[in-house]
Structure 1
Amino acid sequence: MKRRLPPLNALRAFEAAARLGRMTAAADELSVTPGAISRQVQLLEDSLGQRLFEGSKNKPQLTPAGQMLLPALSSALDNMEAAVRAVSDNTTGTLDVACFSTFTVKWLIPRLFDFNARYPDIEVRLRTSGPLDDLERARCDLSITVEEGTQEPAWDADNTLPLFPERLGPVLAPALASRLPLHTTADLSRHTLLQSKTRLNAWAMWATAQGCAAPPVNGTVYEHYYFTLQAAVAGLGVCVAPWHLVADDVEAGRLLAPLGFCDSGYRYVAKRRAQRSQKLDLFCTWLLAQAREAPVPQIALLNQQRNSVVLRGLEA
């Protein structure tokens, strides 16, 4: 018997828009324009004789018919995708990897040349938007995110790969340090302390980890962490930053970290799809090796008797 189904593109457009909650997000995922998503949804509604969305275009809501259709449609598309992956499971093709944008720019991209050289037939596509803790919603093979906890997790049944702990420390440009030396936490009061809108609690988190009072934060609040780091490189103030985001700048001499780094209480982990994938296996093995081989920072220990910072030196 002939199947009586609406066009597949219309079903995919509706499913993505309904799952993500926005036409623009669906357009990004399917690599089309928001207008194309709207037209496909309209085509599906006309085919079914039912409204699937209601409310404003900026924040559409599912109708009862849309709510009924979405779970069955998502499940069907997931099954189709799983079958296609199983058939095409080899060491060539595309991997979709999601992670924070600054992490992508400062840590992952500078290392990807090594993966590309080893596996030229695997294309790694990076995305920095979407829910990093939900692989199905993000439609990606692996996501790199942050979890609370200082103990290294095991590679568990949820396919979590432990990468490294997050370590925070103040950094500043050498020219600024020559004018206003930074030897102890008390010296921070003489500096302009930069902030990022995406992490306004960074200085307070660092102070808690150091066991000292939070310094008064008086500097510019930048829209993005990457902007804050660049402002520190330019000598506009002191930024408290995770080691893995500034390691290359510190090693190259563009930034100094005179107070060292301390554990923030968070860890970076990677979460992979549970389905078998040779391409993903290769990438996970490579990613774990990169995390193990990454340089370790100076560890700051607060000397309670003298209220100064003692640097323990580079660890192997």
Structure 2
Amino acid sequence: MKLFGGRVLEKRSLPPLTALRAFEAFARRGRMTLAADELCVTHGAVSRQIRSLEEAVGLDLTEGPRHRLKLTEAGERLAAALSGAFDQVERTLTDIKSAAHEELHLSCVGTLAIRWLIPRLPAFHARHPGVRVKVTESYAPVDFARERFDAAIRVNETAPIAGAHATAFLENFTGPVTAPHLVGGGPTGLEGLTRLTTGTRQTAWIEWENHSGITLPRAPEVQEFEHVFYVLEAAAAGMGVGLSPWIYVAGDIAAGRLAAPLGFAATPSRFWFLTPSGEVRPAVAAFRDWLVEEAAKAPKPPGRV
């Protein structure tokens, strides 16, 4: 026994934490494989930890066929208690970290984060050393009620969600880009090049033609990639011509890594900074103001060569 604050403390009689974590993850996710992915261990490791927990407590916590296990009544009760306890620990740790170093959790479209935002974050941290910006990639519709983000950045023609504070901080110009050595001598300089696209923006090229008033010749081949970032790397590698917002490729064009023979056309869309409705935290307001300031420094896109 030990004394703490004048109280006698008995030694806790609890199973190993590793086994409790494995069981709680399985109960919450519903499958061994999903629990294993979350904990970065193998399916077998999760299974062994759950078996060891059942042996330690002397109760069956799961039942059913090996590949369709479900919780027993005892398992349901333990899972509910563990999830509540772990949630409380997580909230407490978040509060402790926030007290020591305020965190701003930002949901952001990935290519903007990689190509424009993150290279500029050191300047924000130098100005606001007490604020740590955590960036999470997402292209999904913003839902502040379901996801615990302090702010989000999306690209859209109008404010992406109703009832939120929305600031349009950056115009969106788009244009075709390719490796400089692939630019030809035809009317557009892009004749005969493979058209690089993303699966999520099948209409992007048609939209660009409408905005720019330029009709490209039929592409001999179309190659699809998952993300705009992959399209830009493929274009720089000489695989064809991709379509990109100007802000993503300004540095590459200045460095001669990419060429844009047709320039960049203005689009109706804008990059928006979004925060939940209600009072905006000082750290979030500071980040928004800095973002607007940085966007104002962005160079203007070039016209047609």
TM-score with structure 1 setting the length:
0.62
Q: Distance between the aligned counterparts of 1:141 and 1:128, measured in 2?
A: 12
Asked if 1:174 corresponds to 2:180, the answer is yes
Q: 1:44 to 1:134 in 2, by over 3 A?
A: farther
Question: What is the correspondence of 1:66-145 to structure 2 with a 5 Å cutoff?
Answer: 92-129=101-138, 131=140, 133-138=142-147, 140-145=148-153
Q: Contact 2:111/2:248 (CA < 8 Å) preserved in 1?
A: yes
2:233 — aligned with what? 230
Question: What is the correspondence of 1:293-308 to structure 2 with a 5 Å cutoff?
Answer: 293-298=297-302
Q: Secondary structure at 2:195's aligned position in 1?
A: coil
1:259 to 250, 263, 286: 263
Q: Which amino acid is the alignment partner of residue 235 of structure 1?
A: G
Q: Distance between the aligned counterparts of 1:25 and 1:142, measured in 2?
A: 27
2:7 — aligned with what? none
Q: Secondary structure at 1:191's aligned position in 2?
A: coil
Question: What is the correspondence of 1:1-316 to structure 2 with a 5 Å cutoff?
Answer: 23=35, 92-129=101-138, 131=140, 133-138=142-147, 140-146=148-154, 150=157, 158-177=164-183, 179-180=184-185, 183=188, 188-211=190-213, 213=215, 216-217=218-219, 218-257=221-260, 258-263=262-267, 265=269, 267-272=271-276, 274=278, 276-298=280-302, 311=303
Q: Secondary structure at 2:299's aligned position in 1?
A: coil
Q: Contact 1:168/1:241 (CA < 8 Å) preserved in 2?
A: yes
Larger deviation: 251-260 or 74-83?
74-83
Aligned-pair Cα RMSD in Å? 5.0
* CA displacement 1:84-118 (0-9 Å, x = unmatched): 98998779332222222222211111111211222
Q: Distance between the aligned counterparts of 2:295 and 2:273, measured in 1?
A: 10
Q: Contact 1:142/1:272 (CA < 8 Å) preserved in 2?
A: yes
Q: 1:130 to 1:222 in 2, by over 3 A?
A: closer
Q: Distance between the aligned counterparts of 2:270 and 2:186, measured in 1?
A: 29
Q: Distance between the aligned counterparts of 1:162 and 1:12, measured in 2?
A: 43
Q: Secondary structure at 2:300's aligned position in 1?
A: coil
Q: Distance between the aligned counterparts of 1:9 and 1:159, measured in 2?
A: 42
Of structures 1 and 2, the larger Rg is shown by 2
Q: Distance between the aligned counterparts of 1:55 and 1:135, measured in 2?
A: 38
Q: Distance between the aligned counterparts of 2:168 and 2:30, measured in 1?
A: 28
Q: Distance between the aligned counterparts of 1:280 and 1:40, measured in 2?
A: 42
1:306 — aligned with what? none
Q: Secondary structure at 2:152's aligned position in 1?
A: strand
* CA displacement 1:190-248 (0-9 Å, x = unmatched): 32221223433321221233345575342322233212101212222211111111121
Q: 1:131 to 1:259 in 2, by over 3 A?
A: closer
Larger deviation: 229-238 or 75-84?
75-84
* CA displacement 1:7-50 (0-9 Å, x = unmatched): x99999999996999657866xxxx76879999999999x9x99
Q: Distance between the aligned counterparts of 2:237 and 2:122, measured in 1?
A: 27
Q: Which amino acid is the alignment partner of residue 103 of structure 1?
A: L
Q: Contact 1:161/1:271 (CA < 8 Å) preserved in 2?
A: no
Q: 1:153 to 1:127 in 2, by over 3 A?
A: closer
Q: Which amino acid is the alignment partner of residue 154 of structure 2?
A: V
* CA displacement 1:278-302 (0-9 Å, x = unmatched): 332322222222223222324xxxx
Q: Distance between the aligned counterparts of 1:276 and 1:9, measured in 2?
A: 39
* CA displacement 1:103-150 (0-9 Å, x = unmatched): 221111111121122223322222225856123543x43443435x54
Q: Distance between the aligned counterparts of 1:255 and 1:82, measured in 2?
A: 46
Q: Secondary structure at 1:161's aligned position in 2?
A: strand
Q: Distance between the aligned counterparts of 2:280 and 2:50, measured in 1?
A: 33
Q: Which amino acid is the alignment partner of residue 281 of structure 2?
A: S
Give the drift of 1:170.
0.7
Structure 2 residue runs of 5 or longer lacking an equivalent are 1-16
TM-score with structure 2 setting the length:
0.64
Q: Which amino acid is the alignment partner of residue 241 of structure 2?
A: V
